[in-house]
A = this chain, B = another copy of it.
Amino acid sequence: MTLRYAMIGGGQDAFIGAVHRKAIALDSCAEFVAGALSSTPERSIASARSLGLAPDRSYGTWQELVEKESNRSDPVDFVVIVTPNDTHHAIARACLLAGLNVVCDKPFTITSDEAKELHKLATRNNLVCAVTYTYSGYPMVRHARELAQSGKLGTIRRVFVEYHQGWLSQNIEQSGQKQASWRVDPSRAGIAGALGDIGTHAEHLARFITGCTPTEVSAHLTSFVDGRILDDDASVHVRAENNVHVTLTASQICTGEANGLSIRVYGDKAGLVWKQETPETLTLIHNDCSRTTYTRGMGNLSPIATSSTRVPAGHPEGYIEAFANIYRGVCDQINAVRTGAAETDLAGVVPNAHDGYLGIRFVEACVTSSKNNGEWTSL
């Protein structure tokens, strides 16, 4: 069944909203029918018009959208929230209270208490509440998870995960760059900068693949660029469940790096490497120092990796397909819940509100540790 969705945020000038829409369009699994796309009613309605929404579903504010959609006989099946971080909680809360399924951008909320509340609300109302940790949508990341959790690496000991960008190595927020401005502003971004914006992706990636949740952290957050209040660089040593140690670094002042997310996981039998900028391959490192590289779309991959793909090996897929895989999971889940075939648990591969909560809790512990000179801090 083709579903219908609304979007809050993502109007003209926004970047990520268009990506969400393209990802959903790719597989035609949901139709875009309603929106409250900007922070002012005028711009919201102008954006809705330019994107072809019907006038009666082109809303001026998110409050109006939630109220009117939930009172229609044919409400949207889910709401996509792509606003700045500080508004996620109020919007998601309103949607869940109104009985609307939610897909929310990360970081999920400002505080972990807010995230916990949303998770409880979704569970109680039997609603889907997904968080777009996009990178877990890549087929080879899903295959990495299978390899790691099926024991192919032996006992997992050591993880190196990093997310390095360079676009904030200069003070571009002072010249009004929109994407930069809100990310460096504590009132909109929350208590962390690079750590919240991209470090949470790294944290989720490591947890998604290994299955081990962080238990304590020793963190050092730094602001390299003059006048910046929040961190633009973070270095965290993590102890996770099952005695897994993780070195996590997130930085937005690595000049010249575009979107350098990568992970290496070592067990006592083998290791693996995956790099987001070349996402089609996954390399297994054997004990004898030989390496085997698997390619998306080839035979002999795990079912979850195989079902997350559209074109044959050698015809590259990328970021939009990874995003689309998250949405496929969301749509499948909504349909399954509707037909009574499943709970709203998202079956493990689609990140949910609990994952969002763990991400915020991680940020909070790191900020505390860094203030205490890197002291080990429990989550």
- By a beta-carbon cutoff of 8 Å, the part of chain A in contact with chain B is 2, 15, 18-19, 22, 25-28, 52, 153-154, 157-158, 160, 162, 165-166, 169-170, 218, 220, 222, 224, 233, 235, 237, 245, 247, 249, 251, 253-260, 264, 266-271, 276-280, 285-295, 297-300, 310-321, 373-376
Contact pick for A374, options B233, B310, B376, CB 8 Å: B376
Residues from chain B with a CB closer than 8 A to the CB of A258 are 289, 295, 297-298, 312-314
- Report yes or no: A266 in contact with B254, Cβ–Cβ below 8 A: yes
- Report yes or no: B245 in contact with A247, Cβ–Cβ below 8 A: no
- Measured between C-beta atoms, what is the minimum distance from A105 to chain B in Å? 15
- Measured between C-beta atoms, what is the minimum distance from A121 to chain B in Å? 32
- Report yes or no: B294 in contact with A314, Cβ–Cβ below 8 A: no
- Measured between C-beta atoms, what is the minimum distance from A171 to chain B in Å? 10
- Report yes or no: B300 in contact with A288, Cβ–Cβ below 8 A: yes
- Report yes or no: B266 in contact with A255, Cβ–Cβ below 8 A: yes
Identical copies of this chain, number: 4
- Report yes or no: B268 in contact with A255, Cβ–Cβ below 8 A: yes
Contact pick for A319, options B19, B233, B264, B315, CB 8 Å: B315
Residues from chain B with a CB closer than 8 A to the CB of A279 are 316
Which residue in chain B gives the minimum CB-CB distance to A279? Answer: B316
Contact pick for A291, options B160, B292, B316, CB 8 Å: B292
**Other CB < 8 Å A-B pairs besides A15-B312, A311-B319, 20 of them?**
A19-B311, A160-B162, A166-B287, A222-B245, A233-B245, A255-B267, A255-B270, A256-B270, A256-B289, A257-B314, A258-B298, A276-B314, A277-B280, A278-B278, A288-B300, A289-B314, A291-B292, A316-B316, A316-B319, A317-B320
How far does the alpha carbon of A315 sit from the alpha carbon of B322 in the complex, in Å? 10
- Report yes or no: B278 in contact with A255, Cβ–Cβ below 8 A: no
**A295-B290 CB under 8 A given contacts A253-B157, A311-B19:** yes
Residues from chain B with a CB closer than 8 A to the CB of A237 are 220, 235, 237, 374
How far does the alpha carbon of A15 sit from the alpha carbon of B319 in the complex, in Å? 21
How far does the alpha carbon of A26 sit from the alpha carbon of B321 in the complex, in Å? 10
How far does the alpha carbon of A249 sit from the alpha carbon of B247 in the complex, in Å? 8
- Measured between C-beta atoms, what is the minimum distance from A302 to chain B in Å? 13
Contact pick for A277, options B18, B285, B290, B314, CB 8 Å: B314
Residues from chain B with a CB closer than 8 A to the CB of A320 are 26, 310-311, 317, 320-321
Residues from chain B with a CB closer than 8 A to the CB of A294 are 290
How far does the alpha carbon of A294 sit from the alpha carbon of B293 in the complex, in Å? 12
Cross-chain pairs A/B with CB under 8 angstroms, 15 sampled: A25-B26, A158-B253, A160-B249, A166-B266, A237-B237, A237-B374, A256-B266, A256-B288, A258-B298, A258-B312, A258-B313, A289-B298, A291-B292, A291-B293, A316-B318
How far does the alpha carbon of A260 sit from the alpha carbon of B256 in the complex, in Å? 23
Which residue in chain B gives the minimum CB-CB distance to A258? Answer: B314
**A312-B259 CB under 8 A given contacts A253-B158, A291-B292, A321-B320:** yes
How far does the alpha carbon of A318 sit from the alpha carbon of B256 in the complex, in Å? 22
How far does the alpha carbon of A289 sit from the alpha carbon of B259 in the complex, in Å? 10
